[in-house]
Chain A
Amino acid sequence: MALLDDHVREEVKRELAGLPGAVKLLVFTQEFECDYCAETRSLAEELSELSDRIEVEVHDLLGSKAVAEVYGIDKIPAIVVLGEGDRDYGIRFFGVPAGYEFSSLLEAIKMAASGDSGLSPEAKEALAGLKNPVHIQVFVTLTCPYCPMAVQLAHRCAVESELVRADMIEASEFPHLANRHGVYAVPKVVMNERVSFEGALPEKAFVDYLLAAGS
């Protein structure tokens, strides 16, 4: 059975109309599919049916170990969103991007297709001065209306700077990781395992944290 109903499919078609470049979704799952692995794979496949610019490549986490290592995939389900020419901007989704996070997946696809982060000129300038790699993990639940703001901002930073990788992590699917980072409210943002904060911050405050994490 299709995950997306006719109504949502129409909206998605409208959102994804006229993508300026090709996008590839790398989906990582395994033979005996985990909780939401099947749904994550189906979701990616259904999206590719709605736009001829979206291609899906399904990988087995163990079978495609080398590929998983290249993209830093250590848990499933996972989606890597690649741009034109398989360019890796550092956009990752761990756990199914359903609920409110579905819009984050659509935004990530649009961003990867255009290569434009959409950040303000000030934020772009600030990120150009980033010195070291920053790994952003944004913990979310699918019922949290504020979470996509944090996820999308993290993904924008990843598109803008080659030094940034940004993961959406659906907290209830990875309880051990959520426990380790003390996730008791969402969105919770962890940068390089040392800077962390809760809440969807405005762009400038978010970028300031990012610069601190990368200093």
Chain B
Amino acid sequence: MAELKFLVAPEIGKALKEDHPYDLVIVGAGPAGLTAAVYAARKKLDTLLISKDIGGQTLLTSDIENYMGYHYISGKELAAKFEEQVKKYPIDIAVGEEVVSLSKEGDDFLLTTAGGKRVVARSVIVATGKRSRPLNVPGERELVGRGVSYCAVCDAPLFAGKDVVVIGAGNSGATAVVDLIKIANRIYVVDIMPGWRADPVLVERIAAAGEKVETFFAHEVVRILGDERVEGIVIRPRGGGEEVELKVQGVFIEIGLIPNSDLAKGFLELNEAGEIVVDCRCRTSVPGVFAAGDVTDVPEKQVIIAAGEGAKAALSAYAYLIGQRR
């Protein structure tokens, strides 16, 4: 039996003051947003941290071995430690809220949530991170929740003793495979590239599982099979060749991420990938709006980089607010 862990989380959806002009509203509570919150609180800014969850993509990571200060920590434990540090300060935290629009209102900014709530801010940090990229093949959309999963850490326990395929051989794909080795019967890995692009430590762990894991590199997914639930997947060698059908009950899609920048579309400058363009002070194209972490065009998406960017964004927001007050 697995060792049980017990996580204490904040109340969902508390403490959001509508039409109260906050000094700073931080959208997103991953490593960037949480770090920004600590820095903002220490500058005594009247701050709201608003997010769907606390931890962001960190929550979806099993093991983190490259955040300084910890040789090894699980994503949820690291998120819990971040959160604990944020909760030491008297800022407002609204969890379970999705910000869907951001606009200018007079000298301030107006944010609206999916539930129709309105928040006013003198400055904003967008730290909304990224989400899974879909494959866009036939059968995928129809079978989401019926064997197609974008959250290996969430759904892996449901595939005990089953045959599954992981699409993607980068770090997130390899992490999903490592999680599944303990649970599933057989694991196929499919990637369009000719080999692993994951950290060697992960690849070694997968190699240690032997024949349980079978790779199909330089292959692409043609379609996902099944009516009520996933029954298989059809792949073929890249550049042509015989199609191969794999009988699987689960398809874990780990082919990278797209930025959660919808709320900024038409308001902030985005690059071709949809990331928010920032300068080295985390300033966006609109004065008073800053951005940090994976949603920005800063290269390398890492917890430690996002955290550092979050700190910088909060200090830049502070400097901006001081300048406004004169």
Q: Cβ of B257: which chain A residues have Cβ within 8 Å of it? A: none
Contact A143 B12 (CB under 8 A): no
Q: Cβ of B1: which chain A residues have Cβ within 8 Å of it? A: 35-36
Contact B55 A145 (CB under 8 A): yes
Question: Does B7 belong to the interface (CB within 8 Å)?
Answer: yes
Contact A3 B146 (CB under 8 A): no
Contact B155 A186 (CB under 8 A): yes
Question: Does A4 belong to the interface (CB within 8 Å)?
Answer: yes
State how many residues of chain A have any CB contact under 8 Å with chain B.
44
Looking at the complex, which one of B7, B146, B156, B229 makes contact with A102 (CB distance below 8 Å)? B7
Contact B160 A146 (CB under 8 A): no
Q: Cβ of A175: which chain B residues have Cβ within 8 Å of it? A: 160
Q: Cβ of A141: which chain B residues have Cβ within 8 Å of it? A: 154-158
Q: A12 to B156, alpha carbons, bound, how many Å?
A: 29
Contact B146 A149 (CB under 8 A): no
**CB within 8 Å for A172 and B146 given contacts A8-B6, A145-B76:** no
B6, B8, B84, most chain A CB atoms within 10 A: B6
Report the nearest B residue to A99, measured CB to CB: B5
B55, B144, B157, B160, most chain A CB atoms within 10 A: B157
Contact B12 A3 (CB under 8 A): no
Contact A100 B76 (CB under 8 A): yes
B5, B154, B160, most chain A CB atoms within 10 A: B154
Question: Does A98 belong to the interface (CB within 8 Å)?
Answer: yes
Q: Cβ of A202: which chain B residues have Cβ within 8 Å of it? A: 96, 98, 114-115
Report the nearest A residue to B154, measured CB to CB: A144
Q: A152 to B229, alpha carbons, bound, how many Å?
A: 28
Q: What are the nearest 7 A-B pairs in CB distance?
A: A103-B9, A198-B145, A145-B59, A144-B154, A185-B145, A98-B4, A102-B6
Identify the A interface with B (CB < 8 A): 3-4, 8, 11-12, 15, 35-36, 39, 43, 96, 98-100, 102-103, 106-107, 141-149, 152-153, 171-172, 175, 178, 182-186, 188, 198-199, 202-204
